[in-house]
């Protein structure tokens, strides 16, 4: 009975603190107190792609089912907004902070503030380039260099035995973001072994469909011969497909297309032969993240790096899995 009463009191405090949340500081119901729900402050990149939407959904749904109180903040693609959100999580004294860094650099100061406040940080989806690994407990996400390499490997195989030059255009992700840097590096590393592969143009498409389309339009105007498009995500590839079709060319045939992510819209285009190959990058990080949050809060030691498992898809493989694709 006593136990039930104390839970009810704790629940009441939590409710009160949530309701008072708009006013800013609340310290009830978060840090410390044994039976309380864990409070997780999460700063998301934005809503730039299908991947991101699926990632946000995964985080929100798994927080709810893990009984974790999630304070979710959308940075709309701006690092300054993420820094503000992290500072606000520190003021609110959340138990754990997780975030998906918009760019790799410039996190030292704010993460030191979190560390000094005794609030553990988990990097989700994207890495930072700070050599001080004591600024965060773990990094959960994909190996983006490996993804770029898989894209390159496919291309090398596709043009095996051929000697004619292969002109490639590249649509990069957001400048300075780990997946943009690493997917470019991994791909470049593989194709540089054969001089017939030439990246004739490479520009950012901001991971969005709109920019992917606009940049592909300029590529089509400025480049006399394009054999291959490598897009750092499905959305930019899908935008580029519109530009290619509008220019009277056949995507997947006149221009071969490789993308990364494997969200449903990308997989649909792949199954239709408009994309030739997709390297998977899973956005479903929520369940593992919540598990790590609980362990960190519990004081358990966790691995410094948690890798996401992923595969690749050809058009035939896309047809097989499309019906069951959840995102």
Does the footprint of ligand GYE cover residue 281 (CB under 6 A)? yes
Give the residue, chosen from 52, 71, 150, 274, that forms a contact with ligand GYE under the rule CB under 6 A: 52
Q: For 28, phi and psi rounded to 5 degrees? A: -80, 150
Told to check if 49 binds ligand GYE by CB under 6 A, we report yes
Nearer to ligand GYE, 159 or 327 (CB): 327
* Per-residue DSSP letter, 201: E
Smallest distance from the beta carbon of 309 to ligand GYE, in angstroms? 14
Q: Tokens 């969200």 map to which residue?
A: 263
Among 44, 56, 82, 233, binds ligand GYE (CB under 6 A): 233
One of 89, 136, 187, 207 touching ligand GYE (CB under 6 A): 207
- Pick the binder of ligand GYE from 179, 186, 266, 315 (CB under 6 A): 179
| Order of strands across the sheet that contains 197-204 | 197-204, 166-172, 228-231, 256-261, 277-280, 312-313
Q: Are 258 and 233 in contact (CB under 8 A)?
A: no
Counting every residue, how long is the chain? 327
Among 42, 51, 99, 197, contact with ligand GYE (rule: CB under 6 A): 51
Residue selected from 26, 227, 261, 280 as contacting ligand GYE according to rule CB under 6 A: 261
Q: Judged by CB under 6 A, does residue 126 bind ligand GYE?
A: yes
Q: How far is the CB of 102 from ligand GYE (least distance, A)?
A: 9
Indicate whether 66 belongs to the interface with ligand GYE (CB under 6 A). no
Regarding 125 and contact with ligand GYE (CB under 6 A), the answer is yes
Q: Which residue ranges make up the site for ligand GYE (CB under 6 A)?
A: 48-49, 51-52, 125-126, 179, 207, 233, 235, 260-261, 281
């Amino acid at each position: 009975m006593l136990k039930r009463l104390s839970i009810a009191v704790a629940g009441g405090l939590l409710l009160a603190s949530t309701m008072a949340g708009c006013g800013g500081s609340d310290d009830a119901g978060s840090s410390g107190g044994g039976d309380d729900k864990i409070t997780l402050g999460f700063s998301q990149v934005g809503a730039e792609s299908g991947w991101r939407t699926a990632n946000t959904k995964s985080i929100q749904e798994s927080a709810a089912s893990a009984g974790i109180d999630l304070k979710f903040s959308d940075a709309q693609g701006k690092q300054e907004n993420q820094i503000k959100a992290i500072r606000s999580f520190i003021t609110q004294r959340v138990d754990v902070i997780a975030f998906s860094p918009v760019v790799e650099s410039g996190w030292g100061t704010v993460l030191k503030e979190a560390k000094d406040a005794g609030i553990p940080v988990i990097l989700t989806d994207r890495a930072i380039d700070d050599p001080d690994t004591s600024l965060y407990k773990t990094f959960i996400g994909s190996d983006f260099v490996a993804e770029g390499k898989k894209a390159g490997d496919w291309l090398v195989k596709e043009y095996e035995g051929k000697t004619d030059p292969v002109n490639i255009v590249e649509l990069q992700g957001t400048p300075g973001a780990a997946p943009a840097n690493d997917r470019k590096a991994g791909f470049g590393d593989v194709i540089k072994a054969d001089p017939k592969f030439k990246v004739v143009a490479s520009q950012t498409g901001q991971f969005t469909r709109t920019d992917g389309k606009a940049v592909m339009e300029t590529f089509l105007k400025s480049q006399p011969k394009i054999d291959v498009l490598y897009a750092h995500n499905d959305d930019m590839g899908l935008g580029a497909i519109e530009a290619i079709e509008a220019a009277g060319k056949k995507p997947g045939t006149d221009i071969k297309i490789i993308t990364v992510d494997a969200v449903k819209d990308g997989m649909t285009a792949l199954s239709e032969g408009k994309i030739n190959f997709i390297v998977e990058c899973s956005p479903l990080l929520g369940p593992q993240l919540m598990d790590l949050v609980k362990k960190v809060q519990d004081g358990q030691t966790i691995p410094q790096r948690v890798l996401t498992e992923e595969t690749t898809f050809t058009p035939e493989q896309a047809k097989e899995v499309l019906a069951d694709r959840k995102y």
